[in-house]
Amino acid sequence: MTLITTNESYQFNSYTTPICDCEHCSESVFSGEGVTFEGEVFCGTGCLGEHLLVEGVAEGI
């Protein structure tokens, strides 16, 4: 699992373009945000966890 983060501070900009959509909820993911897991991008650890539960990957946890 890789957290997509930078040490820079970002201010909200209504003109910011999303880099992709979350694999679980389809919410937009912007530069400096999100989590990657096995090549897929999620908007946060909550959606990653839900995705793993739905896929049965986290069944033994």
Read off the pLDDT of residues 10-47 as tens digits, 9 standing for 90 and up: 555 556 789 999 999 999 999 889 999 999 999 999 99
What's the confidence (pLDDT) of residue 15? 61
Q: Is 51 helix (H, G, I), strand (E, B) or coil?
A: helix
The first and second tokens of residue 24, run together, are 């679980």
Burial class (CB in 10 A: 0-12, 13-18, 19+), 21: middle
Q: Rounded to an integer, what distance in angstroms lies between the CA atom of residue 4 and that of residue 1? A: 10
pLDDT higher than 70, residue 51: yes
pLDDT higher than 80, residue 2: no
What's the confidence (pLDDT) of residue 10? 53
Stated pTM of the model: 0.66
Q: Rounded to an integer, what distance in angstroms lies between the CA atom of residue 12 and that of residue 26? A: 20
Residue found under tokens 């912007």 = 30
The first and second tokens of residue 31, run together, are 């530069």
